[in-house]
Amino acid sequence: MEIVILAVVIAVVLVGAVSGLVVGGRRKKQLPPAERPSATPTITTPPAEPRVGDEAETPRDESRRTIEEVDLPAAEAPEAPPAEAEPAPAAPEVEVPEPTEGRLVRLRARLARSQNALGKGLLTLLSREHLDEDTWEEIEDTLLTADVGVVPTQELVERLRERVRVLGTRTPQELRTLLREELLKLVATDAPRAVKTDNGLETPAVVMVVGVNGTGKTTTTGKLARVLVADGKSVVLGAADTFRAAAADQLQTWGERVGARTVRGPEGGDPASIAFDAVKEGIAEHADVVLIDTAGRLHTKAGLMDELGKVKRVVEKQAPLDEVLLVLDATTGQNGLVQARVFAEVVNITGIVLTKLDGTAKGGIVVAVQRELGVPVKLIGLGEGPDDLAPFDPEAFVDALIGD
The binder of 351, among Mg ion, ligand GDP, none, by C-beta within 5 to 8 A per type, is none
CB of 325 closer than 8 Å to CB of 209: yes
116 is in an annotated binding site: no
Q: Considering beta carbons, is residue 114 or 215 the nearer one to Mg ion?
A: 215
Tell me which stretch binds ligand GDP (CB under 6 A): 170-178, 270-278, 307-315, 383-391.
383-391
357 is in an annotated binding site: yes
CA distance 275 to 269: 11
CB of 55 closer than 8 Å to CB of 41: yes
**By CB under 6 A, residue 391 contacts ligand GDP:** no
Terminal Cα-to-Cα distance of the chain (whole angstroms): 103
State the nearest-atom distance from the C-beta of 363 to ligand GDP, in Å: 13
**By CB under 6 A, residue 360 contacts ligand GDP:** no
CA distance 51 to 43: 10
134 is in an annotated binding site: no
DSSP letter (8 states) at residue 116: I
The binder of 214, among Mg ion, ligand GDP, none, by C-beta within 5 to 8 A per type, is ligand GDP
**By CB under 6 A, residue 264 contacts ligand GDP:** no
CA atoms within 13 A on the CB side of 110: 21
215 is in an annotated binding site: yes
Kindly provide the residue ranges of all beta strands, DSSP E only, lying in 271-346, ordered along the sequence. Answer: 289-294, 321-329
**By CB under 5 A, residue 247 contacts Mg ion:** yes
C-alpha distances in Å from residue 18, one per residue of 77, 78, 117, 353: 12, 10, 82, 68
State the nearest-atom distance from the C-beta of 239 to Mg ion, in Å: 9
**By CB under 6 A, residue 384 contacts ligand GDP:** yes
The binder of 350, among ligand GDP, Mg ion, none, by C-beta within 5 to 8 A per type, is none
- String marking each residue 210-229 x if it binds ligand GDP according to CB under 6 A: -x-xxxxxxx----------
190 is in an annotated binding site: no
Neighbours of 320 (CB within 10 A): 12
CA distance 279 to 296: 20
CB of 392 closer than 8 Å to CB of 378: yes
Q: Judged by CB under 6 A, how many residues of this single chain contact ligand GDP?
A: 17
**By CB under 6 A, residue 303 contacts ligand GDP:** no
Binds Mg ion by CB under 5 A, chosen from 115, 142, 215, 218? 218
297 is in an annotated binding site: yes
State the nearest-atom distance from the C-beta of 383 to ligand GDP, in Å: 5
Tell me which stretch binds ligand GDP (CB under 6 A): 3-11, 113-121, 152-160, 376-384.
376-384
The binder of 356, among ligand GDP, Mg ion, none, by C-beta within 5 to 8 A per type, is ligand GDP
Q: Give the closest residue to 244 by CA, choosing from 296, 311, 309, 302.
A: 296
The residue of the chain with the least Cβ separation from Mg ion equals 218
CB of 240 closer than 8 Å to CB of 211: no
**By CB under 6 A, residue 382 contacts ligand GDP:** yes
CA distance 326 to 331: 15
Q: Considering beta carbons, is residue 220 or 370 the nearer one to ligand GDP?
A: 220
Longest CA–CA span in the chain (Å) reads 126
C-alpha distances in Å from residue 359, one per residue of 102, 116, 215, 249, 380: 20, 11, 15, 27, 13
170 is in an annotated binding site: no
CB of 235 closer than 8 Å to CB of 228: yes
Q: Considering beta carbons, is residue 235 or 295 the nearer one to Mg ion?
A: 295
The binder of 358, among Mg ion, ligand GDP, none, by C-beta within 5 to 8 A per type, is ligand GDP
State the nearest-atom distance from the C-beta of 385 to ligand GDP, in Å: 9
Q: Which residues sit in the known binding site for GTP?
A: 211-218, 293-297, 355-358
Binding footprint of ligand GDP on the chain (CB under 6 A):
211, 213-219, 296, 355-356, 358, 381-384, 388
